[in-house]
């Protein structure tokens, strides 16, 4: 964490942690009129929503941390783009909760369209943030890690757009694609900005 970006990262970490912590408030006690374990079981959509939201917010935090490992300094455009991304982060628990509710209500396709559309928007926010960093010289463009991040983020937009389109045809497949993309961003290695100059190569 550099001095120039430390406050941005600290604020962002706070937003991520608060968004993840507040998820538990959506879990409500089961009705006292039901047997205890039956009431707990009937609440499984809420538990699923909690786990999914926590999992995806955690992955987004990891991606955000990796992105900032490439940023050397900040400006007002970075502040604005990062704030827009954080808006998307705090929004995600809502479509996830609607997905859990749709399991009971039967409006699964509509909820999935809203859900996958939200992740497409979040992918656009991530790309906007990185575009701002690249266009304003806030990262080392010759860094192998930065070039890898560009390819990964662009591929993310394409796949999330496909995922969104697939929702009208096959909801389970679209959700599976969404989950695979989450695992991709979680497990994909990220090169360090502290690369030796010899690691850079000319185009």
Work out the end-to-end distance of the chain between its first and last CA atoms, rounded to an integer number of angstroms. 29
Note the pLDDT of residue 189: 59
Locate the domains of the chain by residue range: 6-192
**Radius of gyration over alpha carbons of the chain, in Å?**
19
pLDDT of res. 192: 42
* In the block, residue with structure tokens 């559309």: 117
Q: What local confidence, expressed as pLDDT, does residue 13 receive?
A: 95
Give ∠ CA 105-115-120 in degrees, rounded to 5: 165
SS3 of residue 18 by DSSP: helix
- Helices 108-135, 144-166: axis angle to 10 degrees equals 160
Q: Give residue 86's pLDDT.
A: 95
What residues are paired with 139 via a beta bridge?
Answer: 71
Q: Which pLDDT value is given to residue 101? A: 81
What does DSSP assign to residue 26?
G
Give helix then strand counts, H and E, for the chain.
8, 0
Provide the whole-model pTM: 0.79
Q: How does pLDDT run along the chain (203 residues), one tens digit per residue?
A: 455 788 999 999 999 999 898 888 877 788 888 898 988 888 787 787 788 888 889 888 988 988 888 888 889 999 999 999 999 999 988 888 888 888 777 788 898 899 999 999 998 999 999 899 888 888 876 666 667 777 788 888 898 999 999 999 998 898 888 888 888 888 875 444 344 434 444 44
Q: Categorise residue 123: left if φ over 0, alpha if ψ from -120 to 50, beta otherwise.
A: alpha
């Amino acid at each position: 964490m550099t001095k120039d970006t430390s406050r941005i990262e600290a604020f962002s970490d706070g937003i991520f942690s608060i968004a993840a912590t507040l998820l538990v408030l959506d879990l409500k006690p089961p009705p006292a009129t039901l047997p205890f374990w039956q009431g707990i079981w009937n609440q499984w959509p809420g538990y699923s929503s909690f786990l999914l939201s926590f999992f995806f917010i955690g992955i987004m935090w990891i991606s955000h941390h990796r992105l900032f490992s490439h940023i050397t300094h900040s400006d007002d455009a970075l502040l604005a783009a990062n704030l827009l991304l954080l808006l998307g982060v705090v929004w995600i628990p809502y479509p996830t909760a609607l997905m859990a509710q749709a399991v009971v209500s039967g409006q699964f396709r509509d909820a999935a369209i809203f859900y996958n559309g939200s992740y497409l928007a979040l992918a656009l926010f991530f790309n906007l943030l990185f575009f701002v960093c690249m266009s304003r010289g806030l990262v080392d463009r010759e860094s192998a890690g930065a070039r890898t991040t560009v390819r990964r983020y662009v591929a993310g937009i394409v796949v999330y757009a496909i995922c969104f389109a697939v929702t009208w045809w096959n909801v389970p497949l679209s959700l599976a694609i969404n989950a695979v993309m989450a695992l991709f961003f979680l497990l994909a290695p990220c090169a360090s900005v502290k690369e030796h100059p010899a690691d850079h190569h000319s185009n």
